[in-house]
Structure formats: structure tokens, C-alpha cells
Structure 1
């Protein structure tokens, strides 16, 4: 028999006790997101959710996403409280575009070494995002994988499921020439373009605590993704919404055409809203072209709603009453042979 000491999972770098401690800490966080339909609690092998009553032809809508290299900036800054909100926002805003009401959310947290305090901060942010979206944090998975991630690095993925009446699915088919394009403000870059952002930070040797328009640069860059569920629900309850578009990587120029029929384009007047100062700073520090800025970032608009032209002022007021900043940024025009989005300087 070998004289070497016996090996254990802990010696291999996996702390089962830490994982169990994390589960106990996050149970109240999951409980705080509970909504009608949840069956059981956290800790089972699968989350249970009862299909809501009242639907004639319910259609389930699902979406998954991460937060990309924004995680590296959060790690550098030691700020983990908002990244979970980003994770939820990127998923629920996507399924919202189909007209779905988010029902539940699952998260996946992977790391090389489980730091319970950090993981708890991240999952507290996920719970806050779920509360904003009125969906349940139904479960998740924490994976400690020594050798896969270096140092204190971790990664996140999220999965959202929602429901919509089949007849109310938003496909863009209702869009008409002359419809109004309503832009709903973002909080900043949300979770897109951070590989370019980090390159700009490195080239400019920027101080993350330096001020941009009166606030620390790090605050502007780590501002959590806006979650538009409640505002869009209020809008759809009040007037016809012909289409929605979540403005993520690709910006207005690539995301908005995905929600429009092939024969229509959006004519956007960039002078109808003020881009947040962080975008001006990034463009100046990185010498980034206008075309690249529009193609990479949301430009200050995180969600777009297409509504009848005659409803544009009501739509703007409803969104603002729901706590968002909204702008009349354009209208739909015949597409012809041109691009799906035409931005007027």
C-alpha cells in the first residue's frame, strides 16, 4: 500500500462544505422571488412551476445568455453586486421581445475556487433582477472546477422561460409604414461591447475612479442592465404594440431589423435623444468610428417599441410613468434596396 496520504475532493480543490453553505445562504434570496406557479423550494434536482391558468393556447418562450467580458471588469473592480442583474436582464429582455411574460429563471455559476461571499453577492444580484422582472429564481447550479478557471475568476450563464398566448406573439407582422419607433433608454453599455471597452481602457490607461460626467468611470461601466418587463407590460396593456427589439450586441443597426418585416426599414433620428456621456468618452478615447459605435453599442437605447404613429405620445408617457426614459426616435419607412436601419446624423 502507498505511504502517500490519501486524497480527498477537498485536496483536489473542491470544497463541498462551501457549496452547501452557499445553498443555505441563497435559499432566502430565492424565496424572495417566489411568485404564483412555483411548486416546492430550492434544493431539489429540478425546479417545478405550474403553467398559469387562463391561457387558451399557451406558448413557452425560452432564452439564454451570459454577461461576457464585463465579468472581467467586475472582477478587477471587486464589484459583484450588479452582474447578476445583468444576467437576468439579458435573458428576460430577449424573451420579452416575443411578447412573453417571464415566469422563471435558472442560473449557472462556475468557478475554479468557490468564494462563498462573492458567489452570494452575485446571486443576490440575480435575485434582485428576478424581482424586477417578476419571475421566480427557480434553481441553479454552482460548479467548482479547479484548473478550468484561474485564480478567483468565475463565469455565469442564465436561462429564462416565459409564456405568451399564441395569438399575441409579437412577430413584426403587424408593423406598418409610418409606425413610430419609440426608444427606451439604456443605463449604459449594458452587457455588450466589453472586449472593445477593455481595449479602450488599456490603451488610454484610464483610472476607473476618474470622473466621467460627474460619476466614477467604473460606475458608468458597471451600471446594471435595465430590465424592461414592467414598463413593457404596462405599455402592452394600454395600447397596440406592433413589435419590440432588445438592443444588444450589434446595436440598433443589427437588432432592430430582426423585429421588422422584410419590406420595412426604420429611419432613426439620432438627434432625438442624448447619448449617455460614457459612449462619448469611449468613442473619444478609442478613436472609434461612428459606424463602429452604432454597430457595437446600444447608443443609449436598450429597448425599442414599434407602435402606431397616433399612439406615439401616449406610449412615451406610459413608459415614463413606469419609470423609464423614452424618446420618439423615428418611424418605419419602405425598405427598398437599402439597409434595415437608416440613422440620420
Structure 2
């Protein structure tokens, strides 16, 4: 060949990647913690464990955003999916009592759009600020031919730490304990294959007004991050078990923390089904049993604690900005009965 080929000719722009790193450094800097020794820019990031822990145990979690990204592409909304990405991992490790320490992201695309990617990573940094964890690095992969123009995929990885004696396992949950539910921001990051099917089936106008905002804004509201209020609660109240309500909804997530032989009986009327879930139910003619198994239905995080602690816990969480519902109780499981029921 007489022409000298470059990486850019092959579809990879190194300069664009470098520019993205420079763009996100100010956002990442705001998330730093004292434990971080080296952050973005190196081959690896160094983080030490705080000396306040006597027997520190690391807790890790990883996740993505799922098909909510398809709506992000269609709507051109890339500023909040990064919050979703962080929330899915940090809320997961929180349920074992862990304080998130740091987060790493993976952003993959066919051709890097620096402005678009900056919006996404800015959202990731916002999520990390909400969770109190450091964004210490990640990977941006530009892979020509792998993704359609304007599209990308996201994955995230979080690591937290918990004192060994304070790990929350659910094993102390007992009959008579109370189930508290913390309100969600909406559909969070689960069930979007069904959400998209309902939109298609109903031919919904996503730009239409939906109780003071567009339907698109309601559907794309980012996942709520519960880390700081719940960590504050655990300073004074013993939380026996927690469940992050993600894929599998209320019915499949709560049993993951229940001891054998116990059931969480939830009262359907103890919290108001948010308007978005009413719309999804009605527009898609979705049975409530399916709604409870697919969506969070307005409850993004569930806490189980002693009845004597329920009032104090509700007060502490409310003062921290959470909307709290007393949604059920723990009782013995009957033969052939599911471990979570909505009655």
C-alpha cells in the first residue's frame, strides 16, 4: 500500500479518548475519599482501607443499566444513566451493611462521541457523590463495528467495606419483625424490556405531560441511592436484613434475605402505588402479580428490623430525606407458601 494507515483510519480516535479523560477529571476529583492514594490516569488505582475498621471485610458488586439504555438512545438523554449505573451496585452492597469505597466504570462504543460520553460519566460521578464513594477509574473502549452509531454499553463495579461483626445477613430476622419500605424514584433500572413493550403497545407519546413533567422524564428518572441515609440509620438502629428491589421486583428479592420458614407478608394498601406504575399497569394491561414480580412498584429498598425499632428508624430515615412506609411483617411460612406475599 502506498498510503500509511493510522488507528484513526481504522475507526479509533486516541485523541478523543484523551480528551474524555481530561473532561471527566474534575467530576471524579469531587468524589475522592481520604483512602484513595492514586486515582484516574494510572494503570490501576490504589485505595487503602480505613483504620477505623478492626476486621474489615470487602464487599463487591457489579451491574449495568439494562435496556433502559435503548430509551436513552431514542430520547437523547444521557445525563442520568450514569447515576443508574452507580446505584445498581452501591445499593446492592449496602444491603450487607457495607459502606461503598470506590467505583469503576466500563464504557464501550463503536465511535466515541466525547460530548455524549462526558454526559454519561458526569452522571456516574454524580452517583458516586450521592453514595459517598470515589470514582477512581474505568475503561473507555472504542470498538469500530461493534455498536451502531450513537449507541454504547455501560457496566460498573463497586467495592465497599464492612466490619466483620456488623455484616447484615438476615439470619437474625424473626417472627414479628417489621418490614419498612423506602420509596423509589420510579422504575429505577429494571423491567425496561416490559416498559418498552408497553410504550410500543400503547403508542404512548413520551413528550406528553405526565403529572407536571413529561412521560419520558418520569420513565427515565434515575435510580435512588439509599447509601447515606441507611448508613446513618445503622449507627443507632440494628437493621436485621435489607433487600434492594431490582430485577424480580418485591416478590423475588425479599426472600433472598429471609431465613428458611419465614414469610414477609406485605400489605398492598400500606403504600400508594405511584402514578407511573398505575400507567404501566393500565397501558399494558399488566396483572398486579406480574407488576410485583417485575417492578419495585414504588418501593426501592426494604429494611427488616425489630418492631420496637420501627418508629425510631422511620423518624431517622424521614429526617434524612427518605419517604418511609411500614409495609408488612414477618410471620411463619405456611406449607407451599411463597416467602413474600402481597395481600
Q: Is the structural similarity TM-score above 0.5? A: yes
Which residue is equivalent to 2:196?
198
Which residue is equivalent to 1:159?
157
Please tell me whether residue 8 in structure 1 is matched to residue 1 in structure 2. Answer: no
1:151-171 CA distances to partner (integer Å, 9 max, x unpaired)?
A: 110000000000011111111
Q: What is the distance in 2 between the residues matched to 1:326 and 1:173? A: 23
Q: Is 251-260 or 48-57 further displaced after alignment?
A: 48-57
Question: Which among 327, 332, 335 is matched to residue 334 of structure 1?
Answer: 332
Question: Which among 284, 287, 292 is matched to residue 285 of structure 2?
Answer: 287
TM-score by length of 2: 0.98
Question: Which among 214, 235, 238 is matched to residue 237 of structure 1?
Answer: 235
Aligned pair count?
A: 342
Question: Which among 252, 266, 271 is matched to residue 250 of structure 2?
Answer: 252
1:260-282 CA distances to partner (integer Å, 9 max, x unpaired)?
A: 11121101001011111010101
Q: What is the distance in 2 between the residues matched to 1:264 and 1:247? A: 19
Which residue is equivalent to 1:104?
102
Q: What is the distance in 2 between the residues matched to 1:219 and 1:92? A: 23
Cα RMSD over matched residues? 0.8
Q: What is the distance in 2 between the residues matched to 1:146 and 1:171? A: 44
Question: SS at the partner of 2:11?
Answer: coil
Q: What is the distance in 2 between the residues matched to 1:289 and 1:212? A: 22
Question: SS at the partner of 1:17?
Answer: helix
1:55-90 CA distances to partner (integer Å, 9 max, x unpaired)?
A: 221110000000001011011111111100000000
Please tell me whether the aligned partners of residues 212 and 281 of structure 1 are also in contact (alpha carbons under 8 angstroms).
no
Q: Structure 1 residue 190: deviation in Å?
A: 0.2
**Structure 1 spans left out of the alignment, 5+ residues:** none
Which residue is equivalent to 1:212?
210
Question: SS at the partner of 1:238?
Answer: coil
Q: Structure 1 residue 238: deviation in Å?
A: 1.8
Please tell me whether the aligned partners of residues 175 and 243 of structure 1 are also in contact (alpha carbons under 8 angstroms).
yes
**Structure 2 spans left out of the alignment, 5+ residues:** none
Please tell me whether the aligned partners of residues 210 and 217 of structure 1 are also in contact (alpha carbons under 8 angstroms).
yes
Q: What is the distance in 1 between the residues matched to 2:331 and 2:172? A: 14
Q: Structure 1 residue 315: deviation in Å?
A: 1.1
Q: Structure 1 residue 212: deviation in Å?
A: 2.3
